[in-house]
Amino acid sequence: MAVCGRIFGIVSRQCNGKQVVVTIPNIRPRPIQGLCINITPLIKSHDLRQFYKLFPGHDTECRQVNGKLKEAETAAIFSNRSQLEEILNKTHKKEHRMELTEIYDKGDAFFRDKDYGRLLNYVETGFIKKNDRRIFDRFTFRQKCIDAEEANTACSILGIDLKTPVIMSSMTMPIPAIADDALMQSARGLKAAGSLMWTGTPIPGNLKELANSGVPLAANVKPLKNRDKMYADIENILAAGVTWIGVEVDSGQGTKVVDQEMGFDCTPFTAREIEQIKNKVNLPLVCKGVLSQEDAVKCVDAGADAIVISSHGGHTLDYLPHPLQVMDEIVSAVEGRIEIIVDGGFRRGSDVLKGLAFGASLVGLGRPILYGLAAGGDSGVTDVINGITRELSRLMTMVGASDPGRIHRDILVVD
């Protein structure tokens, strides 16, 4: 049918709590064949990707229709009313939200079947993996729930506002091997969860595209022996428009997975070099891989804005301590002069709360992000962050911590 110059008809449905109005809008100068669905409500509720997944190919037909429509309503053209009813019925269905156990099981199974799944192993003996859980399990919580307030997990750090203190740890590999657009999927998933993305090395070729997605984005460089190349990498990162820049102080001897050494072209930073990098960049500088009070103080003195207390996902040296084993000495040594982030084996909201109670402002996730991505793409990443944040919020409420700034060490009981 050809429709021009008038509203042809309206069909209304509830979709994810919002009204979806189907109209044939006033379109000039030429008639358009078919029915239009106004998908502005889907855009507002961030469901447009789901819309495209249900009807691949229609993204090429989705466009601005009649600039006079309020809020620049967007329409997609369908050939007949039955097709229109089909899209309404499908978008009306509640999207399945994966819980953490399901995500971890699916993700683990996915990587077991892939050659690159070996990258999720640990250095040499695997001690770090076993020690991570042993340390977490030493601590339980002191419940203080009478007169408790519902917790709010929102936080601000180094100029950015986040919905949660749960973020992505620094990594690039093996994300690109999971799917062609896996890095962008990660960015979308983290943005939807109100979290932060953090890339490692190799530096993604689409780093600028990731930054333009709107997700807060940090990016790292390694201490390459070829310092000219390292500084060129820094310039490229800055040009991409990232939020923070990081240096991997723990990669001075490269990385290692089981018996395979990687990153042979690295040598340790000097404190003077960290200071020089800080003077070159106009962004917050984060030193990743600190595990001693001595290194922490050197980072502070060099002008760094934050440190990440981390064992690099168990990919540098065997028999390193878990961050919680050294956080007391580090927090005491820096005396509040620098932001503290932590990662290393965090899997549940209870783990995150322990990291925050030791003095961290943010807690990073590595393998859980990979599991979420493998299990469900961008929505799987969102489900990981949201699932851990929900667990964190329940615990915060019941230990008397109404926001991340009110989480203190006295909520922990040591075994």
Other Cβ atoms within 10 Å of 326 Cβ, number: 19
Is the domain of 140 the same as that of 22? no
Residue span of the structural domain in which 15 resides: 2-92
pLDDT in tens, 326-352: 999 999 999 999 999 999 999 999 999
- As a whole number of angstroms, the distance between CA 270 and CA 97 comes to 46
Q: What is the pLDDT of residue 86?
A: 56
Phi, psi of 21 (to 5 degrees): -105, 125
Is the domain of 121 the same as that of 39? no
Q: What is the pLDDT of residue 97?
A: 86
Q: Which pairing describes strands 306-309 and 339-343: parallel, antiparallel, or unpaired?
A: parallel
- Find the range with the poorest average confidence among 59-73, 116-130, 147-161: 59-73
Which of 96, 312, 322, 408 is catalytic? The answer is 312
Q: What is the pLDDT of residue 139?
A: 98
With a cut of 50, say whether residue 29 has pLDDT above it: no
Task: Kindly state the average pLDDT of the residues 76-83.
Answer: 50
With a cut of 60, say whether residue 9 has pLDDT above it: no
User: Which domain-ending residue is among 68, 92, 116?
Assistant: 92
Is the domain of 284 the same as that of 164? yes
- As a whole number of angstroms, the distance between CA 226 and CA 212 comes to 29
Q: Does an H or E element contain 2, and which?
A: strand 2-3
What CATH number does residue 386 fall under? 3.20.20.70
Is the domain of 57 the same as that of 123? no
CB 233 within 8 A of CB 207: no
100 pLDDT band, cuts 50/70/90, is very high
Q: Any alpha helices (H) in 99-206, and if so which ranges?
A: 100-112, 127-136, 175-178, 182-192
Phi, psi of 161 (to 5 degrees): -105, 130
User: Which domain-ending residue is among 92, 110, 141?
Assistant: 92
With a cut of 60, say whether residue 83 has pLDDT above it: no
Indicate the pTM of the whole model. Answer: 0.79
Is the domain of 241 the same as that of 354? yes
Q: What amino acid is encoded at 223 in this protein? A: P
- As a whole number of angstroms, the distance between CA 199 and CA 168 comes to 9
Q: What is the pLDDT of residue 263?
A: 78
Give 143's contacts (C-beta < 8 A, 6+ positions apart).
398, 399
312 is catalytic: yes
Task: Kindly state the average pLDDT of the residues 116-133.
Answer: 95
User: Which domain-ending residue is among 92, 109, 133?
Assistant: 92
264 pLDDT band, cuts 50/70/90, is confident
- Find the range with the poorest average confidence among 19-28, 270-279, 299-308: 19-28
28 vs 277: which has the higher pLDDT: 277
Task: Kindly state the average pLDDT of the residues 195-206.
Answer: 96
Phi, psi of 267 (to 5 degrees): -150, 150
Which sign does the torsion angle of CA 266, 270, 271, 274 carry?
A: negative
With a cut of 70, say whether residue 177 has pLDDT above it: yes
List C-alpha distances in Å: 156 to 137, 153, 199. Answer: 29, 10, 20
Closest CA to 137 of 354, 321, 343: 354
Return the structure tokens found at 79. 């050939």
Other Cβ atoms within 10 Å of 63 Cβ, number: 10
- Find the range with the poorest average confidence among 65-74, 173-182, 291-300: 65-74
CB 240 within 8 A of CB 211: yes
Is the domain of 107 the same as that of 140? yes
Q: Which pairing describes strands 35-38 and 32-33: parallel, antiparallel, or unpaired?
A: unpaired
Is the domain of 119 the same as that of 84? no
Is the domain of 74 the same as that of 116? no
How many domains are contained in the chain? 2
pLDDT in tens, 131-142: 999 999 999 999
CA 310 to the chain's CA centroid: 17
The mean of the pLDDT values for the chain is 84
Q: What is the pLDDT of residue 85?
A: 52
Q: What is the pLDDT of residue 358?
A: 98
pLDDT in tens, 204-236: 999 999 999 999 999 999 999 999 999 999 999
Is the domain of 171 the same as that of 79? no
Is the domain of 105 the same as that of 219? yes
With a cut of 70, say whether residue 108 has pLDDT above it: yes
Is the domain of 62 the same as that of 141? no
Is the domain of 401 the same as that of 273? yes
